[in-house]
Every structure is written in C-alpha cells, then in structure tokens.
Amino acid sequence: MSGSLPGGDAGGSRQCAGSAEPSGQLADYSMAFALLGDLASARTEDLVIERIVGMFTTICAPARSTYLQIVESVPGRVVMAPPGEASNADAGRLAGVSGAWALTPSGRGFTLRIADSAGTLGILELEDVAVPASLTHYVNLALGLVHVCGLAIRNARTYERLGQTLADLQKALAEVKTLRGILPICASCKRIRDDAGAWSQVEVYVSEHTNAEFSHGICPECIRTLYGDLMAGP
C-alpha cells in the first residue's frame, strides 16, 4: 500500500523530514557512500543486485529484504535476504509498485522502485526495519541513493550485453573456415587427404574447409581431349 511518513507526502513524491538523530543520520550516509564504491565497481547485474540488497540491509537492518528484477517491463528473478523462497503473490505485489516508494502492508517497512529514463529496473522491499521510528530517515536516504543504483544496474546490463556481443564475434571468427599450410594431394587423381587420413575430392574438401561453393563445367582443353573427334567433324 502507498503511505505517508511523518512530515511527508504519500507515494514518495517529495522527500520527508527525517526523524533519526543527526549523528545517526550522518553515520548512515557515511556508510552508504562507502558501500556505493563497491556498487560502482560491479560488472554483472547479479553482483549489482547482491550489493544493492546488502547495502540497504546493512543500513536499515530489516527483518527481510526482497528484490524483484524487472527487465523490459517483465518481472524476473527474486533475490531475498536472508535467503528464502518468494511467493507468486509477493512477486506480483512488488511488480505492481509504480511510485518512487510505498509503505509495506505492515507499515514497518517500505518498497523502493529503482528506475532510469528507460523504465523500471527493479523493486526493492525492506520489511520490518530495526528502528521503525527512523523509517522517514531510511526512505529519504533510499531516495537519495536510488539514482546511483539505477545507473549501476543499467551499466551492468550494458557491460554484459557488450561482453556477449564480443563473445559472439569471437565465436564467429573461430568458425570462419580457412585453408592454411600444406595440403597433401594425390599426384594422380588430385584427391586431398584430411587430418583423419581419408581422401576426398578437391571440391568436397574445399567446401568443407572454406565457405566456397562449386559449380561444374568443362574447360576448353578438356573439351578437346574428351570430345576432339566429335568437334573435328566427319
């Protein structure tokens, strides 16, 4: 459900005045900035998600953290801390989050939508935070970090996509058929011996080891050799 925190607006359209002690707020922000360094260095989305969940779990100390991956508006895998099995109802509820944040049904936690200009990337739910009186502060802190989280996820997806493209190119190059070195060819029938010791006709061997294809014809010299008598006439 959407909700309002003390001093703030429902749905998270604006940040709210914090209720935690100033010294505690400063410690949380210092911890968050330290953890962001690890987040920025992650090169896979799985690792980014793991570190996002770990960062907010460390700061907010919820009883349970749940992350729903969103890829092109389609719900993906669910990550939980501590590890557990999410129900379809939980995944459906998280997938329905549309605002920047919302209170959980219990009112002792909140959900956070991680997004960029292209759309939603994931939904994080922190349930039953350790200090409910600091919930406003936690939401404000989360809203300050969510943009960096979105950038980290998008960068990881881009990095993985580029890596896959490079792997595909390397595979394609490896499959390019070329002929190199010395080919053992019969001096009489002109068949070629392969690495297994089998003899193949030239066109068969070349077709199997290159991208070339053959069309058959007869050269003028062979025409004279084979059909010279016919060409000479009566």
What is the distance, to the nearest Å, from the Cα of residue 14 to the centroid of all Cα atoms in its chain? Answer: 31
pLDDT score at 13: 35
Nearest to 15 by CA among 146, 144, 150: 144
SS (H, E, C) 170-225: HHHHHCCCCCCCCCCECCCCCCEECCCCCEECHHHHHHHHCCCCCCCCCCHHHHHH
The pLDDT assigned to 24 comes to 63
Q: Provide the token pair at 104.
A: 């959980």
* In contact, 67 and 79? CB cutoff 8 Å: yes
| pLDDT value at residue 121 | 95
pTM of the complete model beyond 0.85: no
Q: How many CB atoms lie within 10 A of CB 120?
A: 19
Using CA atoms, how far apart are residues 8 and 15, in angstroms rounded to an integer? Answer: 6
- In the chain the first and final C-alpha atoms are separated, in Å, by 103
The closest alpha carbon to 211, from 180, 183, 176, belongs to: 176
| Domains with residue ranges and CATH for the chain | 10-163 (3.30.450.40), 171-234 (no CATH)
Q: What is the pLDDT along the chain (234 residues), one digit of tens a residue?
A: 444 444 333 333 333 333 445 556 667 767 777 777 778 788 899 999 999 999 999 889 999 999 999 999 999 989 998 887 777 777 888 888 889 999 998 999 999 999 998 899 999 999 999 888 889 999 999 998 999 999 999 999 999 999 999 888 888 777 666 667 777 888 888 888 888 889 988 888 888 777 778 787 888 888 777 777 665 555
Q: What is the dihedral of CA 133, 7, 36, 149, to 10 degrees?
A: 120
Cα–Cα distance for residue pair 31/74, rounded to 1 Å: 32
What phi and psi values does residue 180 have, to the nearest 5 degrees?
-140, 160
Mention every residue, 6+ apart, whose C-beta is less than 8 A from residue 203. 214
Q: Are 156 and 44 in contact (CB under 8 A)?
A: yes
pLDDT value at residue 229: 65
pLDDT at 232: 56
Residues 73, 233: Cα–Cα separation, whole Å: 79
Helix 135-174 and helix 22-40, axial crossing angle in degrees, nearest 10: 0
